[in-house]
């Protein structure tokens, strides 16, 4: 049995328009103590074609991003087996009410069609309904799936379902938001593989970019997601550490808004009332960031930096319009393809040691127009 070791650290791909011949630049130098481990500058003159060879509608930068992503995945998990047996895969995602997860469902289904995989994508009712998501997994665990890919709402809500999968011989991949491995092991369960991103590095990267755009310092805030959700906790911790260490920056508030647009809108208005000189707000997803943009417009407030995560279509439009400053991104399309490849490899007897990490990209007002075709 071949054992694949995923030892590659996540690569933060920071796009530099100066390097690409544009008039403005979104690149910034982060302090050594808080910067991500590695940054890769994207140079269009060196960009080979992305996987699949379809380049006509892609900018040189996007071609490079796809090339870097594919290389990182190949280094960590190898190539897709040329021949493999029939396989039935289930995927449990968080909620179709969030455009990010709705897109993930579409990408899963497209990748499954490309690979010839029998796939079923299921979800709970809302982003906070941990019980309904567990009910979905418990039902799927008794069905004829070979592999189930799970993206839990929080670190523990799917543990009984994962244990049931283990008992029934169904292999389990954790994609994205992390399962609490210690709690899972205590319950007698295990994961067969994990593919995710370094959430703390997402927060660090945003915070460093925000600081670079505030040369005179100022007050900033963080609007977090659901308490206990791994992606929110990681993004918040990463941003908080960088912002609190920065000279001239005052982090005045960290507030959970449960991934909810209404809560984020109200929180932003309250923050603006209490801190009228607020200079920046980092939101742990784009839904909340877009709500903050609406709150700023309602208050007639300009010049506040607003960042999100996920680079949804609406966030792309807001960044292009200049109402959002940036959004952390990675290729959701490649994410789902890599997860399905791992499912096939597990079903063929392969094993994985350690987590597989995706390269990250910060999209900002400086580079958004060069990212047509990035998904």
Backbone angles phi, psi at 200, to 5 degrees: -60, -35
234 and 265 Cβ atoms separated by less than 8 Å: no
**Average pLDDT estimate for 224-253:** 96
In the predicted structure, residue 41 carries a pLDDT above the cut 50: no
Which tokens in the block code for residue 264? 């984020």
pLDDT digits (tens, 9 = 90+) for 244-262: 999 999 999 999 999 999 9
**Average pLDDT estimate for 133-138:** 98
In the predicted structure, residue 228 carries a pLDDT above the cut 80: yes
pLDDT band at 373 (very low <50, low <70, confident <90, very high): confident
DSSP letter string, 137-204: HHHHHTSS-SEEEE--SSSSTTHHHHHHHHHTT-EEEEESSPP-HHHHHHTT---SEEEE--HHHHHH
pLDDT band at 308 (very low <50, low <70, confident <90, very high): very high
Cα separation, 127 vs 120, in Å, equals 19
Predicted TM-score (pTM) of the model is 0.82
Higher-confidence residue of 18 and 319: namely: 319
93 and 279 Cβ atoms separated by less than 8 Å: no
pLDDT band at 6 (very low <50, low <70, confident <90, very high): very low
All structural domains of the chain, each given as residue ranges with its CATH number in brackets, are 3-77 (no CATH), 88-197+331-347 (3.40.50.2300)
The least confident of 62-76, 146-160, 275-289 is 62-76
Query: Considering the chain, what percentage of its residues have pLDDT values greater than 90?
Result: 79
311 and 373 Cβ atoms separated by less than 8 Å: no
Residues 287-299 as b/e (b if ≥16 CB within 10 A, e otherwise) read: bbbbbbbbbbeee
In the predicted structure, residue 303 carries a pLDDT above the cut 60: yes
3 state SS for 251-319: EEEEEECCCCHHHHHHHHHHHHHHCCCEEEEEECCHHHHHHHHHHHHHHCCCCCEEEEECCCHHHHHHH
In the predicted structure, residue 196 carries a pLDDT above the cut 90: yes
In the predicted structure, residue 186 carries a pLDDT above the cut 60: yes
94 and 121 Cβ atoms separated by less than 8 Å: no
Give the mean pLDDT of the chain: 87
End-to-end CA distance of the chain: 34
Question: Which positions ≥6 away from 346 have C-beta within 8 Å?
Answer: 147, 171, 173, 192, 193, 352
DSSP letter string, 119-132: EEEEE-SSTT-HHH
Query: Considering the chain, what percentage of its residues have pLDDT values greater than 70?
Result: 85
**Average pLDDT estimate for 22-38:** 31
pLDDT of residue 56: 55
Quickly tell me which residue has 């069609």 as its tokens: 113
């Amino acid at each position: 049995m071949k054992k694949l070791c995923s030892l590659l650290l996540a690569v933060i791909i920071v796009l530099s328009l100066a390097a690409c011949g544009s008039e403005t630049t979104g690149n910034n130098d982060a302090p050594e103590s808080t910067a991500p481990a590695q940054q890769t500058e994207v140079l269009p003159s060196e960009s080979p074609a992305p996987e699949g060879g379809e380049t006509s509608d892609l900018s040189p930068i996007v071609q490079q991003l796809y090339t870097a992503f594919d290389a990182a995945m190949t280094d960590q998990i190898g190539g897709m087996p040329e021949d493999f047996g029939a396989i039935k895969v289930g995927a449990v995602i968080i909620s179709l009410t969030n455009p990010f997860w709705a897109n993930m469902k579409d990408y899963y289904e497209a990748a499954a069609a490309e690979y010839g995989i029998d796939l079923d994508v299921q979800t709970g009712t809302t982003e906070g309904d941990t019980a309904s998501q567990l009910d979905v997994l418990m039902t799927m665990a008794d069905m004829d799936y070979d592999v189930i890919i799970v993206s839990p709402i929080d670190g523990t809500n799917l543990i009984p379902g994962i244990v049931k999968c283990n008992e029934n011989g169904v292999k389990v991949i954790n994609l994205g938001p992390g399962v609490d491995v210690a709690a899972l092991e205590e319950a007698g369960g295990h994961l067969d593989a994990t593919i995710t991103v370094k959430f703390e590095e997402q927060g660090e990267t945003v915070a460093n970019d925000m600081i670079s755009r505030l040369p005179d310092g100022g007050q900033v805030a963080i609007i977090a997601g659901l308490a206990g959700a791994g992606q929110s906790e990681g993004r918040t911790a990463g941003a908080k550490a960088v912002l609190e260490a920065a000279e001239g920056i005052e982090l005045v508030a960290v507030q959970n808004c449960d991934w909810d647009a209404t809560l984020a809108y109200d929180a932003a208005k309250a923050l603006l009332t209490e801190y009228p000189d607020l200079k920046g707000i980092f939101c742990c997803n784009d839904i909340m960031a877009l709500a903050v943009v609406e709150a700023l417009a309602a208050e007639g407030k300009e010049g506040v930096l607003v960042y999100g995560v996920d680079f949804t279509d609406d966030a792309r439009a807001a960044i292009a319009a200049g109402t959002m400053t940036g959004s952390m991104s990675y290729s959701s399309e490649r994410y789902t393809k890599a997860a399905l490849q791992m499912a096939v490899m597990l079903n063929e007897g392969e094993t994985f040691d350690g987590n597989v990490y995706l390269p990250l990209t910060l999209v900002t007002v400086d580079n958004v127009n060069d990212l047509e075709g990035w998904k």
